[in-house]
Amino acid sequence: MLGWMGKFRALFLLSSLALVLSGCGKENLTALVPKGYGAESSLDLIILTTVIMLFVFAIVMVIYVIALVRFRKRKGQEDYIPKQVEGNHTLETVWTVIPILLLIIIAIPTVIATFDLADETDAKDAINVSVTGNQYWWHFDYAGEEIQTSQDLYIPVGEKVYLNMLSSDVIHSLWVPSLSGKMDVNPENENTMYIEAYEEGVYWGKCAEFCGPSHSLMDFKIVVVSPEEYEQWIADMQNVDPEAEPEDAVAAEGQGLFEENNCMACHAIGSSPVQTGPNLTNIGDRSRLAGTEELTKANLVEWLKDPEKLKPGNKMTDKYPSLSDEDADKIAEYLLQLQPSDITPESAGN
């Protein structure tokens, strides 16, 4: 058995380890370093509630120590009964009113921030994107631009972008910790929030509502670029020709196999209406496959051969004939050449 000194050392080591590990993670995936208006508002509320909770904790601990030291049982006072205070109206009033006041202090800025982030006053003059949550991927439809894409949402820095969110299946929750707070994405009622990024870069987003076996793999990215780069990206996406034949012979064969295996029944290239699978217009420009895997040819071939292995419960499994290694390689070559723009996650912020 450990003595008190051994227990103290173990506690100190565990606390130090927890502190070190809390600093691990991806860049632009923390609410504690806000780089957007919504995240900044959320951090202000986090600080406010933390200060209030620490204040209450300190007061309670001071009272506890005073009571422990001053009113402890002493020798010769085994039968001593201290003064009883039940029914003391002053005390009961104090410890009822104080929590109410603290809750009001927390509630007022929270309600103000909630309505502020849901304000749609400027929506008509701003960028609007219809967001659809699916098991286990995200779809983005740019209003008035005839642009649809999946997984990577491109927005200009310093501008409000309104997200009008619905789910195609179960309840999801969209969260980009460094840019905004969370918002439920429901199957029936549309929720709207806006994001406004202060800095260019790539920001990681998550689904914050358990939605199935691959919930933790439902990642996406918001790519924040300059207004000029955003306009260039819009133009590049609008000029995509879904039927253009690749110059590379292997990729051209892959395009044929893509069509022969009826992949277009679930996926779209260009501004076609949303299908049951992600839009692939700019899949070659993405840095991630299936939400979390690095986009490489080897990983893409593995995904085509056995999508269930990388993302359990996905809707692609068993929806097409089994592919040979050669056919999967050709289709992967074709998909990786779908790179309509020089504006990519790798170029954002550089």
> Would you list the DSSP string of 72-132?
---TT-TT--PPP-TT-HHHHHHHHHHHHHHHHHHHHHHHHHHHHHT--TTGGGSEEEEEE
Measured between alpha carbons, how far is 97 from 102 in angstroms, rounded to an integer? 9
SS3 207: strand
Q: Spell out the residues 6+ positions from residue 180 whose beta carbon is closer than 8 angstroms to its own.
A: 36, 37, 38, 39, 42, 117, 193, 195
Residue with tokens 């306009």: 231
Q: How much of the chain exceeds pLDDT 70, in percent? A: 95
Q: How confident is the model at residue 219 (pLDDT cuts 50, 70, 90)?
A: very high
- The residue ranking higher by pLDDT, 322 or 155, is 155
- Listed residue (204, 155, 180) closest to 29, CA to CA: 204
CA-CA-CA-CA torsion for 95, 99, 104, 109, nearest 10 degrees?
A: 150
The answer on pLDDT for 84 being more than 90 is: no
CA angle, corner 164, sides to 162 and 170, nearest 5?
Answer: 145
Measured between alpha carbons, how far is 132 from 138 in angstroms, rounded to an integer? 6
Measured between alpha carbons, how far is 343 from 279 in angstroms, rounded to an integer? 18
Residue 347 confidence (pLDDT): 83
CB 254 within 8 A of CB 333: yes
- The residue ranking higher by pLDDT, 107 or 77, is 107
SS3 percent helix, strand, coil of the chain, rounded to 5, is 40, 15, 40
* Tokens representing residue 310 in the block: 């990388």
Residue 38 confidence (pLDDT): 93
The answer on pLDDT for 166 being more than 90 is: yes
- The residue ranking higher by pLDDT, 290 or 321, is 290
Q: How confident is the model at residue 92 (pLDDT cuts 50, 70, 90)?
A: confident
Q: pLDDT tens for residues 276-288?
A: 889 999 999 999 9
Mean pLDDT for the chain overall: 89
Q: pLDDT tens for residues 9-28?
A: 878 788 777 777 666 666 78
SS3 238: helix
Q: pLDDT tens for residues 167-208?
A: 999 999 999 999 999 999 999 899 999 999 999 999 999 999
Measured distance between the N- and C-terminal CA atoms of the chain, rounded to whole angstroms: 56
Q: Which residues of 140-172 are buried (b: 16+ CB within 10 A; e: fewer)?
A: bbbeeeebbbbbbbbbbbeebbbbbbbbeebeb
Residue 350 confidence (pLDDT): 58
Phi-psi group of 41: left, alpha or beta (phi > 0 → left; psi -120 to 50 → alpha; rest → beta): alpha
Q: Taking residues 103-130, what's their average pLDDT? A: 92
Residue 193 confidence (pLDDT): 92
CB 236 within 8 A of CB 341: yes
